[in-house]
Structure formats: structure tokens, C-alpha cells
Structure 1
Amino acid sequence: MNNIEDFRNYCLSFKGVTEKFPFDESTLVFYVMNKMFCLVDIEAFDYCNLKCDPEEAEELRAQYNGIKPGYHMSKKHWNSVYFNSDISENQIKEMVVKSYDLVVKGLTKKDRALLETIQ
């Protein structure tokens, strides 16, 4: 990812995504149906936190230097993915999709149905 605007636009391109600054003025959080799937520091823009299947999270950390346990997050379910590391932009985009999909899968039936109605 080259810059925060490209990354932000990519995250906002998914159905039902909103953004907020719930923690401080530099941590931008992306939500789907009010559930977090991605966090990024807009000032440093050096990594993002993404939700991940626990088994896959361990495998990714072992495989890539640029993937660490989620900073300030549940280490079991979140990874910190560093932009300027051994992970390609396409791989990061795939991980964003997986994070989004994991959160959607965990939504209530009612919220998933509501998400389907969003254009």
C-alpha cells in the first residue's frame, strides 16, 4: 500500500463499511455493521491490524517477518501486517478481504440480512 488514502478507499469499497476514530485522533478503524475488521494509524501508516483465523494467524507469523501478533489486540485473533515488509500489496489486500469476511461470518443472522440489503 502506497498511502493512507488508497488503503482507506480500498477498505471503504466493501459493502456496509463505515469508519471512525474511537480510540484517538490517529487510529482509523473500519467497521462492517459496527464490528471492527481493520485498524490503521493514519499518521505513521506503517501497518494495519487485521482479524485472522487463529490457526492461519500463527502460520502467517511463521511465514512472514512483516506479520506480528496484533498490537494492542487479541493476539489469537488479530495480526499486525506491516506495509513495507516481505508482504506484497496483493497479499495485504487478500488479508483485508479475509478479515472483512471473518467479521461478516460472525454477524448475527439479522445483521447479515441487513448487510445484504445495502447497495
Structure 2
Amino acid sequence: MDSKAVHQYLMTKPYASVSQPFGPEVDVYKVKDKMFATLSLAKMNANKLNETHWWLNLKCDPDEAQALRDIFDAVIPGYHMNKRLWNTVILDGSIPQGEIERMIDNSFLLVVQKMRKTEQRSILPHLDT
């Protein structure tokens, strides 16, 4: 899944918006002013110095976050985020599109579930089930 497809999928979420509060190099995706994802172009780690990929930060249940890191080499602890609650997904083509979409869906739902009940009631009916 490339960055354009990820962006399009993120923007299909009810009440989703994108802004760049950290500067032009980081897109921040929010639902009703609560962040559920970031997307940025980043250099790879030292063993692949000249290679760049898009990095997608997603909120995650702590147990699932660790499981995803164990399963996928392209899932690492959240870069510049709470590493217990966020993962960074490196969009290098190694993770199937459906799995990335599932991770995005989970991040969105985790953020919505922390909102007030009135806000949840305005968002949840718009989700595809």
C-alpha cells in the first residue's frame, strides 16, 4: 500500500481531517480533533541509509502492538510516540493492504472509544461494518 492509498483510506473515516501542525513533512490525521494517525516520509535505519519509505504511526492496543512487531519486520515501536500505545508501520510493500487497513481501522476505533459518549454516537453510525 503506498502513501496515496493510505491517505485516501485514512480520509474515508467519518469526520477525518488532515493537518500539518508539526510542519509540512508530517501529515496528522484526526477524528474530531483527536489524532489517530500520522504519515511522513522518513529515512530508513542505518542498515539501509539511502532508502526512504513512508512511515505511518497508528495507535494500538499494547498487547497487539507487540504482537504486530513480532510478526512484521516493518512494524516498529511508534517513532516519536508513546511506544507502548503506538506503532510505526513502514510502508515498504511487505505488509498486505488488508492488514494495513485493519490497523488503521483499529487505531481509529481506539481513539473514538476514548471520546465522550455523545461524540461516539455521532461517529459510530457512519462506520462501515
| TM-score, normalising length: structure 2 | 0.82
* Distance in 2, Cα, partners of 1:104 & 1:27: 22
Matches within 5 A, 1:74-93: 74-93=82-101
Tell me what 2:48 maps to: none
Q: Offset of 1:111 from its aligned partner?
A: 1.6
Q: Offset of 1:109 from its aligned partner?
A: 1.2
Q: Offset of 1:64 from its aligned partner?
A: 1.2
Tell me what 1:51 maps to: 59
Name which of structure 1's ranges 76-85 and 36-45 shifts more when overlaid on structure 2. 36-45
Question: Structure 1's 45 and 35: CA in aligned 2 closer, same or farther, altered over 3 A?
Answer: farther
Tell me what 1:29 maps to: 28
Runs in 1 of length 4+ with deviation above 6 angstroms?
none
Tell me what 1:101 maps to: 109
Tell me what 1:62 maps to: 70
Q: Offset of 1:116 from its aligned partner?
A: 5.1
Q: Which runs of 5+ in 1 are unaligned?
A: none
SS of corresponding position for 2:95: coil
Tell me what 1:11 maps to: 10
SS of corresponding position for 1:22: coil
* Distance in 2, Cα, partners of 1:48 & 1:71: 9
Percentage of identical aligned residues:
31
Q: Offset of 1:85 from its aligned partner?
A: 4.8
Give 2:8's aligned amino acid: N
Tell me what 1:110 maps to: 118
* Distance in 1, Cα, partners of 2:5 & 2:37: 14
* Distance in 1, Cα, partners of 2:87 & 2:95: 13
Give deviations 1:6-65, integer Å, cap 9, x for gaps: 221111111111111011111001101111111001586522000000011011111111
Question: Structure 1's 105 and 84: CA in aligned 2 closer, same or farther, altered over 3 A?
Answer: same
Give 1:63's aligned amino acid: I
* Distance in 2, Cα, partners of 1:5 & 1:60: 23
**Looking at CA atoms only, which structure, 1 or 2, has the larger radius of gyration?**
2
